[in-house]
A and B are shown apart, each in its own frame.
Chain A
Amino acid sequence: GAGVSQSPSNKVTEKGKDVELRCDPISGHTALYWYRQRLGQGLEFLIYFQGNSAPDKSGLPSDRFSAERTGESVSTLTIQRTQQEDSAVYLCAIIGGLLYEQYFGPGTRLTVT
């Protein structure tokens, strides 16, 4: 998606390891979202950042998941002690455009073995 990059594009990790996923938006976008999409499923909301306000973490599935964002720049999603059920594509999105639509990054495909 225009204006959002994510890294790595693919990540294979062993069960129990920690992983860090990165979302790098074009600066100036105050709203940033993380979603998880399991194979063949819809998008699950994880967390939402809006400027300097406290993030909405209501979608994080467990305390193994955390996310940070510094200002209006990079965000990182950290998954500790990964489990096989964490295997999914993790998508980052920003709000932009005249209609305040979401622009999604290409996603990080996480595979936990």
Chain B
Amino acid sequence: LAKTTQPISMDSYEGQEVNITCSHNNIATNDYITWYQQFPSQGPRFIIQGYKTKVTNEVASLFIPADRKSSTLSLPRVSLSDTAVYYCLVGVGSGNTGKLIFGQGTTLQVKP
């Protein structure tokens, strides 16, 4: 299983763009990269998933370089409600299932 490494914490201010980078040097060919968001007292919830290049949805963008050894979650114009823990996972996606290991995550604190 590919291990992921993320910064423990990040601070930002409302209205700024936030980029959180995750390293996954041992990613396998059939692995996908998935990001989850967790608020206090709730289970994680899916944000975005990608395999390569760039993926964008209504809440975030995911940038994956050609070697796929890292990925960057981009949150545009964050608000106070984006304060949460963000987890990067490598593994399951598009028809694959298997053991999923969460790293320690990145605690994002958005300040007014």
Identify the A interface with B (CB < 8 A).
Answer: 1, 30-31, 33, 35, 41-45, 48, 50, 56, 58, 91, 93, 95, 97, 99-107
Contacts and interface: CB of A to CB of B under 8 A. Distances in A.
Interface of B: 32, 34, 36, 42-46, 49, 85, 87, 92-105
A103 B44 CA distance: 8
A69 B45 CA distance: 23
Contacts of B97: 30-31, 50, 95, 100
B44 A43 contact: yes
Given A1-B45, A56-B99, A101 B34 contact: yes
B85 to A, nearest CB: 8
Contacts of B46: 97, 99, 101-103
Main secondary structure of the interface of B (DSSP, over half): loop
Given A99-B32, A99-B94, A106-B42, 11 more contacts: A1-B45, A35-B102, A45-B101, A45-B102, A56-B99, A93-B43, A100-B95, A101-B34, A101-B49, A102-B34, A102-B44
Contacts of A100: 92-97
Contacts of B93: 99-101
Given A99-B49, A104-B45, A105-B43, A45 B92 contact: no
Contacts of A91: 43-44
List the 9 closest A-B pairs by CB distance, nearest first. Answer: A104-B43, A101-B46, A43-B102, A31-B97, A42-B104, A99-B49, A91-B43, A48-B99, A56-B99
A8 B81 CA distance: 28
Contacts of A56: 99
B3 to A, nearest CB: 13
